[in-house]
Amino acid sequence: MKNTNLFTSSQLANEASFMHRRAKAIARFFRGGAAKAEPVVGDTLGLVDTHSERALHVGRLFKLAHISTERVKAKQKPAAKTNAQWLSKSFRNADGQRDYRVYIPSTYHGQALPLVIMLHGANQDAEDFSAGTQMNSVAEAEQYIVAYPEQPISASLMKCWNWFKPLDQLRGSGEPSIIAGITHEVIKTYNVDSDRVYIAGLSAGGAMAVVLAETYPELYAAAGIHSGLAYGVADNPFSALAAMTDGLRKTRERPVVDGITPLPPVPLIVFHGDKDRIVHPSNSDALMTVNAPSADRHGEAADEAGWFVATDSGQVRDGHSYTRTVFRDSTGKTLGEQWLVHELGHAWSGGNSAGAYTDGRGPDASRQMIRFFAAFKTSDTERAAFHPLVGPLPHCGPPELIGPPSAARQQSRGLLYRSLARQEITKLSNALVGYWRRAVLYAHKPAQ
């Protein structure tokens, strides 16, 4: 009887050949050569390196259709004429340059307004993300300024935020430094209430929003995470794919220094679909576990922290049902919300079909996030300037620093890149040997 659980020798040989080509591409890239890259479909979290042949493999794995941003834009209806402004901006610091869009509501006349930073998902830009989430409409009604940083193709083939790369998980380094710099620039340019600055994102953008909340807790009063992942669950494409698949990766612990009280976690409102096939819904549980590690989901306080949990459910008319879990402290103050939307896939709940990755049948995530944000200010919690997360890393300047990286900083990054490359090539080599060994054993296995 044929064993259908085994790969054929041809399939194993093909996979081994792919791993061999991948290892050669990585080695060539880190020697300074250019590895051939092609566009990829389906990589909604940015697992594909710009210089990697793994792009096609990930696209075939997910089997997702490429959603053209230009096609999405063509579907959008012309906006009603108002005094609102939709501006194009650009920011540059020592870690790089990014364009961004800013929405200024028509009611803005110099008064202090809150700010929301919105981080798009794969294959999106500010135009598409704003159309799909309808956050500008909510901001107009609630008087918020909204900024949309954009990830260029030069940083990721699918325009994904590199949430899983080690240098992009640190304060004062990489993309967190750039996004924080954009935040500071908007605050300084407009009369933004610095106590009411928030961040939100979808998919790769949601994962990067978590990184910003962890590394700049004094800057953001709360965060909205849609279909994202917890901080520190991955440090390379392989561990990122594993975290997306099962949501069981170990999260990174917050740094603690003797004699210094760590800042409390930034309050989170988390949305996830229970039919998400790209990012497993258990990742939302991991997010809340980090923020409320002592919470008892049966409604009773657990240990000294005194967290309480309450769960309710609802149904959108002619749409999806949902379960909402609210986390509160001993005083009854809400510190986190988790929304599990039933039958929702990898899409923005309650979004508009004018944008990619949306499902209008779910509860309106944009409005719920703004409602949640309104309850929080950074001044509500002590944000000690000497906290280890607040100070810049020794080799990384402050986010406002303008100019090229120093020679010492470039050398430090080069050493880290080469170390990571050696680790990945070793893993690929071991996998290659395993594939070939299985192929040989299977080829010589007697027929049954």
Query: Which residue bears the tokens 């991955």?
Result: 234
Q: Lowest-confidence range among 76-80, 90-94, 145-149, 364-368?
A: 76-80
User: What does pLDDT average to over the chain?
Assistant: 75
CA dist., res. 229 & res. 286, Å (int): 8
SS3 call for 346? coil
Query: Which residue bears the tokens 């909604």?
Result: 44
Which residues lie closer than 8 Å to 238 by C-beta, 6 or more apart? 424, 427
Structure tokens at 281: 């819904």
Which residue, among 413, 433, 358, has the nearest Cα to 120 in the 3D structure?
358
> What pLDDT score does 82 carry?
72
> What pLDDT score does 335 carry?
84
Which residue, among 48, 13, 385, has the nearest Cα to 240 in the 3D structure?
48
Given a cut of 50, whether residue 5 has pLDDT beyond it is: no
Main-chain phi, psi angles of 387, to 5 degrees: -65, 140
Band of pLDDT at residue 122, cut at 50, 70 and 90? very high
More confident residue, 64 or 423: 423
> What pLDDT score does 325 carry?
95
CA dist., res. 122 & res. 356, Å (int): 9
Percent of the chain with pLDDT over 90: 51
Q: What is the residue type of 172?
A: G
Tens of pLDDT along 9-21?
455 555 555 555 5
> What pLDDT score does 245 carry?
86
Structure tokens at 40: 């990829």
Tens of pLDDT along 217-250?
999 999 999 999 999 899 888 889 889 987 665 5
The answer to whether residues 207 and 228 touch, using CB atoms and an 8 Å cutoff, is yes
CA dist., res. 150 & res. 50, Å (int): 16
The number of beta carbons lying within 10 Å of the beta carbon of residue 427 is: 14
> What pLDDT score does 431 carry?
60
SS3 call for 351? coil
Q: Lowest-confidence range among 112-126, 136-150, 276-290, 336-350?
A: 276-290
Which residue, among 182, 173, 203, 154, has the nearest Cα to 50 in the 3D structure?
154
CA dist., res. 110 & res. 304, Å (int): 44
Helix axes 365-373, 135-142, angle to 10 degrees: 40
Given a cut of 90, whether residue 90 has pLDDT beyond it is: yes
More confident residue, 402 or 131: 131
Neighbouring-strand partners of residue 149: 100
Tens of pLDDT along 310-347?
999 999 999 999 999 999 887 888 889 999 999 999 99
Tens of pLDDT along 18-58?
555 555 554 454 444 433 333 333 344 444 443 333 443 33
Q: Lowest-confidence range among 125-139, 166-180, 315-329, 375-389?
A: 375-389
Tens of pLDDT along 273-298?
999 999 999 999 999 887 765 444 44
All domains of the chain, ordered by start, with CATH? 22-67+413-443 (no CATH), 72-380 (3.40.50.1820)
Given a cut of 50, whether residue 349 has pLDDT beyond it is: yes
Which residues lie closer than 8 Å to 41 by C-beta, 6 or more apart? 59, 62, 64, 65, 66
Given a cut of 70, whether residue 69 has pLDDT beyond it is: no
Distances (CA, A) of 156 to 35, 203, 440: 14, 14, 37
Neighbouring-strand partners of residue 315: 321
Tens of pLDDT along 185-214?
999 999 999 999 999 999 999 999 999 999
The number of beta carbons lying within 10 Å of the beta carbon of residue 312 is: 9
Q: Cα torsion at 34, 35, 40, 44 (round to 10°)?
A: -80
Mean pLDDT of 81-110: 94
Neighbouring-strand partners of residue 119: 201
Band of pLDDT at residue 434, cut at 50, 70 and 90? low
Distances (CA, A) of 82 to 31, 78, 85, 89, 107: 54, 12, 8, 20, 10
Which residues lie closer than 8 Å to 281 by C-beta, 6 or more apart? 247, 272, 273, 274, 340
